[in-house]
Amino acid sequence: MPKTSKYLFITGGVLSSLGKGIASASIGLLLKQRGHSVTVLKFDPYINVDPGTMNPYQHGEVYVTDDGAESDLDLGHYERFLDVNMTKANNATAGQVYFEVIQRERRGEYLGKTVQVIPHITDELKRRMLAFDGKFDFVIIEIGGTVGDIESLPFMEASRQLTLELGRRRALNIHLTYVPYIRSAGELKTKPTQHSVKTLMEFGIMPDILLCRSEMKLGREMRQKIALFCNVEERSVIEALDAETIYDVPQMFAKRNLDDIICEKLNVRKRVPELDTWSRFTHRVRSPKHSITIGLAGKYIQYKDSYKSILEAFIHAGAVNNTRVNVRWIDSEEITQATVAEQLDGIDGLLVAPGFGSRGIEGKLLAIQYVREQNIPFFGICLGMQCAVIEFARNVVGLTKATSSEFKKNDQNVIDLLPEQKHITDKGGTMRLGAYPCHIASKRTQAYKAYRNEHISERHRHRYEFNNDFRDTLTAKGLVISGTSPDGRLVEIVELPHHRWFVGVQFHPELKSRAVTGHPLFIAFVKASLAHHLESIDA
């Protein structure tokens, strides 16, 4: 372990959605390829204590770590790129930080002092940043939001203070900005970047490196101009062009020597990077041999970020199978008995997505019934698994009122709360969250064939569970419970043995899919869907 860590502060300017999370993950990967240990810490300036209760339309998917943090989806990018596990300590919101300071004040720990943004909030921020010191070679600190936002002020101030305290050999400021191309003028414009850097400097932060998002090449002259106006060396003005896939971004940065520049500025001896693993992966992403279409049924399909990790898991599993996975979005609220066959026509597999609430459930059940009867590969995740159990109970077992107590309480709640959960009223942080061990029952199951292991661990985020009162009734009719908690009490995986590939999981496998290696269940699902595809074009 290093004695001290080098710190990279990453801020963003001009507008949001420039890809700060991907930039941070990519920089992390470049350093990791040189044999350095890296972690990333993400600060979100909003007041919510965690994104757990936020609407997926506004905030995208809620990412869950092994230790049960409900966190920002950027943590998913860090895990996928860097192949490391994030923890609660890797994501902090302004809400969390203020909450902590206010609690301390209530306990009288500030001894009657006036509690203020500077130094109390900023000290708490620095404490969280320094908690990683000495544990990694590099600590990347990504500050959410855009420079100049009222909410991000304390974060900027904390990074300014820390840059000064650590010194230029231990801290770098990297600013991601935007250089728009104005079509009518046929020109790239540097003014927004100039203004953004000016705002940053008002807070006392001098960027060492500028990453310039642009749809056109910047060219030498443009870089010289930005360098001059923004007080940055010319070689440190780095263009960040739109990439074909996010996984190309690290190589794009490396071409502009970003990792060399970082190492030089921080006085880190340059090591030869190991590039083959990643470039083999990106090559397979870019030019696969096969192509399949997976139907993704969910209710948040207008906002694709709600299913971010699932989409990424398909890219990884596709690369392993040398296959491009095209996703056909199916709005579960639009599925009807009359249209289901047409809506699912031509898909090679169906994934029913996680979700909350009763909207769109009947459509999901119709879709599941269709693929079950047509022997089309099916993968149900969390709510998707619960729907598969309900569909089976209704249409195979004949429990016509079968449902989850999340939607309607009755005497056929095949999905229900555990007895000990029934009194909970708080909405934040009260679900089964984080990693739990799961035991796979038999080597003959699809689950075992995918994992090749009887002991696995997967991440959860749900309240409801398979109701054990119906276990015997359902298994007697052929539903196989292939994975349970080690004590056998909680059902984690169900499948249908006479089906080509029909697997439902109570957990979220997509949260553990990593870029180069993929996730066993996604790999097996894509493989089964590809086999189905190849057979159907043969026929």
Give the catalytic positions in this structure. 382, 508, 510
| Closest CB 468 distance from ligand GLN, rounded Å | 15
Binding segment toward ligand GLN, per CB under 6 A, in 21-29, 138-146, 252-260, 350-358: 350-358
Cα separation, 486 vs 507, in Å, equals: 15
Cα separation, 229 vs 236, in Å, equals: 13
CB nearer to ligand GLN: give 463 or 471: 463
Out of 32, 394, 461, 500, the residue judged to bind ligand GLN by CB under 6 A: 461
Binding segment toward ligand GLN, per CB under 6 A, in 204-212, 274-282, 353-361, 394-402: 353-361
Centre a 10 Å sphere on the Cβ of residue 375 and count the other Cβ atoms it contains: 14
CB nearer to ligand GLN: give 61 or 312: 61
Which of 164, 163, 175 has its CA nearest to residue 139? 163
Annotate 450-479 with b (16+ C-beta within 10 A) or e (fewer).
bbeeeebebbbbbbbbbbeebeeebeeeeb
CB nearer to ligand GLN: give 127 or 359: 359
Binding segment toward ligand GLN, per CB under 6 A, in 118-126, 201-209, 243-251, 349-357: 349-357
| Closest CB 461 distance from ligand GLN, rounded Å | 5
Q: What are 73's two structure tokens?
A: 């989806």
Binding segment toward ligand GLN, per CB under 6 A, in 218-226, 229-237, 286-294, 456-464: 456-464
Binding segment toward ligand GLN, per CB under 6 A, in 44-52, 137-145, 339-347, 354-362: 354-362
Phi, psi of 147 (to 5 degrees): -55, 130
- Residue keyed to tokens 């043995």: 497
Centre a 10 Å sphere on the Cβ of residue 379 and count the other Cβ atoms it contains: 29
| Closest CB 386 distance from ligand GLN, rounded Å | 6
Cα separation, 274 vs 101, in Å, equals: 43
Which of 404, 358, 370 has its CA nearest to residue 506? 404
| Closest CB 130 distance from ligand GLN, rounded Å | 34
299: contact with ligand GLN by CB under 6 A: no
462: contact with ligand GLN by CB under 6 A: yes
355: contact with ligand GLN by CB under 6 A: yes
Binding mask 231-270 for ligand GLN (x = CB under 6 A): ----------------------------------------
Beta partners for 293?
326
Longest CA span, the chain = 80
Site for ligand GLN in 356-395 (CB under 6 A): 356, 382-383
414: contact with ligand GLN by CB under 6 A: no
- DSSP-assigned states of every residue in 258-271: HHHHHHHHTTPPP-
End-to-end CA distance of the chain: 58
Q: Are 450 and 520 in contact (CB under 8 A)?
A: yes
| Closest CB 425 distance from ligand GLN, rounded Å | 15
Helix, strand, coil percent values for the chain (each to nearest 5): 40, 20, 35
- DSSP-assigned states of every residue in 289-349: SEEEEEEEEES-TTSGGGGHHHHHHHHHHHHHTTEEEEEEEEEGGG--TTTHHHHHTT-SE
Out of 56, 68, 76, 354, the residue judged to bind ligand GLN by CB under 6 A: 354
Q: What are 78's two structure tokens?
A: 């860090």
| Closest CB 478 distance from ligand GLN, rounded Å | 24
Q: Are 322 and 284 in contact (CB under 8 A)?
A: yes
Binding segment toward ligand GLN, per CB under 6 A, in 72-80, 299-307, 461-469, 484-492: 461-469
| Closest CB 506 distance from ligand GLN, rounded Å | 8
What separation in angstroms does the CA of 422 have from each of 365, 397, 426? Answer: 26, 27, 11
Q: 480-484 and 432-440: which strand pairing?
A: antiparallel
Helix (H) / strand (E) containing 166: helix 153-166
Binding segment toward ligand GLN, per CB under 6 A, in 11-19, 113-121, 283-291, 460-468: 460-468
Out of 138, 314, 436, 464, the residue judged to bind ligand GLN by CB under 6 A: 464
Binding mask 304-343 for ligand GLN (x = CB under 6 A): ----------------------------------------
Cα separation, 206 vs 160, in Å, equals: 9
Cα separation, 36 vs 25, in Å, equals: 14
Out of 189, 290, 463, 514, the residue judged to bind ligand GLN by CB under 6 A: 463
Cα separation, 521 vs 314, in Å, equals: 10
| Closest CB 381 distance from ligand GLN, rounded Å | 7
| Closest CB 385 distance from ligand GLN, rounded Å | 8
Task: Give the binding-site size for ligand GLN (rule: CB under 6 A).
Answer: 10
436: contact with ligand GLN by CB under 6 A: no
Residues that bind ligand GLN (CB under 6 A): 354-356, 382-383, 406, 461-464
